[in-house]
Amino acid sequence: MSDVRFYYGDELPLEMHKARIVQRLELKPVEDRARAMAGAGYNTFLLNNSDVFLDMLTDSGTNAMSDEQLAAMMRADDAYAGSETFVRLESVLRRIFGKEYFLPAHQGRACESILSQVLVEPGSVVPMNYHFTTSKAHIVLNGGTIEELLIDEGWDVESEHPFKGNMDTGKLEALVQRVGADRIPFVRLEAGTNLIGGQPFSLENLREVGTLCRRHGIMIVLDASLLGDNLYLIKRRESACADWSIEEIMRAVAEECDVIYFSARKLGAARGGGMCLDDADLYLKMRELIPLYEGFLTYGGMSVREMEALAVGLEETLDEDAISQGPEFTAHMVEQLRKRGIPVVVPAGGLGCHVDALRFLDHVPQEEYPAGALATAFFIASGVRGMERGTMSEQREEDGSETLAHMELLRLALPRRVFTVSQVGYVVDRLQWLYENRELIGGLRFVEEPDILRFFFGKLEPMTDWPARLVARFREDFGDTL
């Protein structure tokens, strides 16, 4: 069973909005898709969106804005310093998070850069429920290391645990004993844990982590980029919170955290980022870096229009109907795939659907990037662009050997309020075809491999001519259909 709240018929999620502006889409023939994929070095990041039918690469900056957000953009105040827009955004943030200070930044990773520069030094150890690519990169860049202390169920793509983003407090206590609290600048908790399938933590778990951290005098830094999904899933899955408003859950989460940072490309359906906190000393230290890297203190690299949209979008995050859309569409898609026996991360999280490439392509060795190969094959089969989240998204060890990822996932993001149920149905149908023909899919190898964040720009090639065989099978089965 999914967490469906609004449904009809066969548990279809119900859109709590209507479309008033649309963008035309084109589905190109399978041969063109294969050619585009080859031209992009078999890396979906390098595709031109004009070759893409449904763009499920990411939810970053691609969520649909509301009419209220668009209307707010018109009143943005362009002043370089002291803009009224900043004051409006700051007051919304103060109200929903209850923190005194707000520092704006151009996006989420900029917050990570500033936090790491100020708090992390060589020898620092940062415990977290699970890493995110850019958050880990900035900690490592500043000489720190990370420790992933997810509960055991979180590592298991088949576990039905409702809160797979929870931190194991036993492991956290053991780590504090082993390295000492003074080497731990903060504990990082990520809401809607991205790389393990958008999995939430519970309020109960957060409070346990909070108690432990206060006892040792360690700060909690919350990555709130995917907090909207996490709040909704707390409301649906944590019985103690079933009767709370989203605003009450938001406050309870915020109270446990010392610093809250976010990518506004996700939270608040706009583009930008920021950090909220109460600690005046830390605020002053981080503030120095804002004009240096981001922009003046009243915009931090964001456009004032986006800031207006963000202020409204954050308010809308407190609306249960609005934040239901990501998790409910994801739940629907996961349920449909499960019914067809296609291996997928359960239970459904936020953000999108995560196909388990290790089981889908159990004949492709991890060194040949099964999740990357699946992303390639699925684009050819459907024109749908997903993202590899597996070994390709890791970095090699210093001796050049691969860091094999814990999971090999094809992420099909569902930007909120963008796709319809029938488009989700198309994705499910093509994935089923691909699953039935999975033996045709082979691995990939790098031909151009950057050292840092190689998944963004790296170019690959297929180990054999398997993409051509996939195209031929498609034509046999689908005839003239696109």
Ligand X SMILES: *Cc1c(COP(=O)(O)O)cnc(C)c1O
DSSP 8-state symbol, 139: H
**Closest by CA position to 93, among listed 319, 317, 311, 323:** 311
Of the candidates 293, 226, 255, 308, the one whose C-alpha atom is nearest the C-alpha of residue 96 is: 255
Q: Pick the catalytic residue from 109, 266, 271, 385.
A: 266
**Residue 113 binds ligand X, judged by CB under 6 A:** no
What gap in Å lies between CA 471 and CA 462, rounded to an integer? 14
- We find the least distance from the C-beta atom of residue 133 to ligand X, in angstroms, to be 8
Q: Which of residues 154-213 bind ligand X (CB under 6 A)?
A: 190, 194
- Token digits of residue 457: 């720009």
Closest CA to 211 of 256, 174, 259, 149: 256
45 is catalytic: no
Residue 164: active-site member: no
Which of 137, 151, 184, 226 is close enough to bind ligand X by CB under 6 A?
226
- Is residue 455 annotated as part of the catalytic site, yes or no? yes
464 annotated active-site: no
- State yes or no: residue 229 binds ligand X (CB under 6 A): no
> What residues numbered 259-278 form the site for ligand X, per CB under 6 A?
263, 265-266, 273
State in angstroms the smallest separation of the CB of 221 from ligand X: 11
Helix or strand or coil: residue 262?
strand
Of 389, 411, 417, 430, the active-site residue reads: 389
Give me the residues paired with residue 459 across strands.
448
CB closer to ligand X out of 258 and 335? 258
Q: Does 135 bind ligand X (CB under 6 A)?
A: yes
Q: Identify the helix (H) or strand (E) that includes residue 176.
A: helix 169-179
Active site (annotated) includes residue 53: no
Residue pair 474/30 in contact (Cβ under 8 Å)? The answer is yes
Phi, psi of 463, rounded to the nearest 5 degrees: -65, -30
**Of 21-29, 106-114, 418-426, 431-439: span binding ligand X (CB under 6 A):** 106-114
Q: Which is nearer to ligand X, 34 or 276 (CB)?
A: 276
Does position 306 interact with ligand X (CB under 6 A)? The reply is no
Binding mask 349-388 for ligand X (x = CB under 6 A): ----------------------------------------
Looking from the CA of 322 toward its CB, the CA atoms found within 13 Å total 20
Do you know the residue count of the chain? 482
**Annotation marks residue 293 as catalytic:** no
Q: How far is CA 132 from the centre of its chain?
A: 8
Site residues for ligand X per CB under 6 A: 60, 107-109, 132, 134-135, 190, 194, 223, 225-226, 263, 265-266, 273
The residues annotated as belonging to the active site are 80, 132-133, 223, 266, 389, 455
